[in-house]
Amino acid sequence: MNRKSFIKKGIISSVGLGLIPTLSFGANQTDPEPYKVELVKEFVLAGHFNLDKVKSMLIDYPNLIYSRYDWGNGDFEEAIEGAGHKGNKEVANYLIEKGARVNLFVLTMLGKTNLVKPTLEAYPNLIFSKGPHGLSLLHHAEIGGEESKELFNYLLEKGLTEKSFSLK
């Protein structure tokens, strides 16, 4: 065996040996089963109005907090979004404390003017975004009550008059 061949085989062998832990680690891993659709739907529905059920379901299934239910036609919703469009601040704040992913609609309902306005100034077309079920930011500001009144007026000033949009 010549020197060039020896070096080439040595490099190839070293790389192959280096991959063994990676390949064996991957072989031992199994993907967890996805949550059943019915379970996700139950949690998302609870997020609209039932804090106790949200709490108890998160004990058994902590990653439900990130799950979305597909109502059809691209209308996906998380539990926090259900709380958002129903104006359920208690559920929304609990889910945020537990690490839920917040969005502009929920922040609008909660009256987080200091977060919403700069975002809408940076991305003005988001004012006309469609939330879950096609509900607008204006709907979320209205359902948020007194805390969201400044945002409600701001959205009207920016030209948003619709409380919902078609998702078709």
Each residue's pLDDT tens digit, 31-69: 889 999 999 999 999 999 999 999 999 999 999 999 999
* Per-residue confidence (pLDDT) for residue 29, from 0 to 100: 75
Greater confidence, 67 or 20? Answer: 67
Identify the weakest region by mean pLDDT among 15-24, 82-91, 155-164.
Answer: 15-24
pLDDT beyond 80 at 77: yes
What the block records as the tokens of 124 is 């003005």
* Per-residue confidence (pLDDT) for residue 57, from 0 to 100: 98
* Per-residue confidence (pLDDT) for residue 121, from 0 to 100: 98
pLDDT beyond 70 at 24: no
Cβ atoms within 10 A of the Cβ of 47, count?
A: 30
H or E stretch at 76: strand 76-78
Q: What is the dihedral of CA 148, 103, 133, 92, to 10 degrees?
A: -70
Identify the weakest region by mean pLDDT among 23-32, 54-63, 127-136, 147-156.
Answer: 23-32
Q: Do 109 and 84 touch, CB atoms closer than 8 A?
A: yes
- Per-residue model confidence as pLDDT tens digits over 119-131: 999 999 999 999 9
Identify the weakest region by mean pLDDT among 15-29, 110-124, 138-152.
Answer: 15-29
pLDDT beyond 70 at 1: no
pLDDT beyond 80 at 97: yes
| Alpha helix stretches (DSSP H) within 29-127 | 37-49, 51-60, 79-86, 89-97, 104-109, 113-122
